[in-house]
């Protein structure tokens, strides 16, 4: 068994133009003040991080991680959620996702995809420079507009989408293998990898690539009415990253999983700050410890109601209270009478 590392905080929801959220030094000081010992870094946010320099220079990475260490913070992982999304975009979403890309490739889907692939590869290289063995991302989506089969999906449509998705990711996965870094896809609605079955469809097409792993976030499973505890046991050998995020699903006679096009606060399913939703985190942390999860417990704050800074401070303590320092002995060791092979055979009536 392993004791999970943490608490850590994903900085994507906190980076901004006002201090202390607009510089690497200040935001790591703030995170430490909140009670965190690690941070997950959004690689696209130039206020905090220069991905091009990080991929090209280990010295830059050493300085970057050193500045955080001075504030008592470890860099847990880099994230390319936004860039990974752009590895595969259905044309229906071109306009919606174009803003994630560099201005030079906006309006040009082919150039945007090539840019996205390069970005993810650079983040993998930068992770290696920092000595980090796991990387967070999204898969992107080609089949998502067809998730509900109405009208009837043409035969082979989904298969063709997953074939193409795998072909786009295979060179990135091979790059990750060369650098000793796991790619951890956040299993998330809006992505083609949105549940266990869709992940398995992808995994089969990349020949069960050793670097094609999972970022586990129970909140996305609550909103799908998926068994988030069973999921841990099923995929324990592929779960290499953990977002600690809460959610609730309160269906009514008027709306359910799909939410009736309502805003987040008015949906039956919505994200909540830690402890305010329905996730049984005692059970989650117990399973993670029992299954030898070696990574970090990373708070991803998203809540339809609570102020983010309150959620962040409460979240650090919440994770600290839930991390299980695993035992190195059995609770009944005091009653150990001692034994050897001969004694065991005698107890079983196999001697004499």
Among the listed residues 52, 48, 58, the one whose alpha carbon sits nearest the alpha carbon of residue 132: 58
Contacts (Cβ under 8 Å, ≥6 apart) of 236: 287, 291, 292, 293
Question: What is the pLDDT tens value at each position of the chain, 352 positions in all?
Answer: 889 999 999 999 999 999 999 999 999 999 999 999 999 999 999 999 999 999 999 999 999 999 999 999 999 999 999 999 999 999 999 999 999 999 999 999 999 999 999 999 999 999 999 999 999 999 999 999 999 999 999 999 999 999 999 999 999 999 999 999 999 999 999 999 999 999 999 999 999 999 999 999 999 999 999 999 999 999 999 999 999 999 999 999 999 999 999 999 999 999 999 999 999 999 999 999 999 999 999 999 999 999 999 999 999 999 999 999 998 877 666 667 777 888 888 888 897 5
Concatenated DSSP letters for 265-292?
GGSSEEEE-TTSSS--HHHHHHHHHHTT
What's the rounded Cα separation, in Å, for the pair 7 and 329? 25
Contacts (Cβ under 8 Å, ≥6 apart) of 335: none
What are the DSSP E strand ranges found in 47-180?
74-80, 134-137
For 128, how many CA atoms within 13 A lie in the half-sphere containing its CB?
Answer: 17
What's the rounded Cα separation, in Å, for the pair 87 and 119? 10
What's the rounded Cα separation, in Å, for the pair 72 and 53? 23
CATH tag, 5-347: 3.20.20.150
CB 43 within 8 A of CB 80: yes
Q: What is the pTM of this model?
A: 0.95
């Amino acid at each position: 068994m392993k004791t999970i590392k943490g608490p850590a905080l994903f900085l994507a929801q906190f980076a901004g133009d006002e201090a202390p959220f607009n510089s690497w030094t200040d935001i790591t000081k703030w995170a430490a003040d909140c009670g965190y010992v690690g941070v997950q870094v959004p690689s696209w946010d130039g206020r905090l991080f220069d991905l091009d320099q990080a991929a090209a220079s280990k010295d830059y990475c050493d300085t970057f991680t050193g500045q955080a260490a001075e504030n008592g913070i470890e860099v847990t992982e880099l994230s390319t959620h936004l860039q990974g999304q752009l590895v595969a975009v259905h044309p229906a979403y071109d306009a919606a996702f174009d803003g994630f890309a560099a201005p030079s490739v906006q309006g040009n889907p082919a150039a945007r995809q090539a840019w996205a692939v390069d970005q993810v590869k650079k983040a993998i290289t930068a992770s290696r420079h920092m000595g980090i063995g796991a990387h967070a991302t999204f898969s992107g989506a080609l089949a998502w507009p067809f998730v509900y089969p109405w009208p009837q999906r043409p035969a082979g449509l989904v298969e063709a989408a997953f074939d193409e998705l795998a072909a786009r990711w295979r060179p990135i996965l091979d790059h990750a293998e060369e650098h000793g870094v796991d790619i951890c896809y956040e299993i998330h609605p809006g992505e083609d990898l949105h549940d266990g079955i869709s992940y398995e469809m992808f995994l089969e097409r990349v020949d069960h690539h050793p670097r094609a792993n999972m970022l586990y976030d129970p909140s996305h499973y609550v909103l799908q009415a998926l068994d988030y505890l069973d999921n841990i046991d099923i995929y324990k050998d592929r779960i290499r990253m953990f977002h600690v995020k809460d959610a609730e699903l309160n269906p009514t006679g008027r709306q359910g999983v799909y939410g009736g096009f309502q805003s987040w606060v008015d949906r039956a399913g919505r994200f909540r700050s830690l402890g305010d939703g329905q996730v049984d985190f005692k059970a989650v942390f117990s399973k993670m410890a029992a299954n030898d999860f070696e990574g970090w417990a990373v708070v991803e704050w998203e809540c339809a109601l609570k102020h983010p800074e309150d959620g962040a401070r409460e979240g650090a303590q919440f994770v600290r209270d839930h991390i299980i320092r695993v035992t190195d002995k059995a609770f009944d060791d005091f009653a150990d009478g001692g034994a050897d092979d001969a004694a065991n055979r005698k107890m079983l009536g196999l001697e004499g």
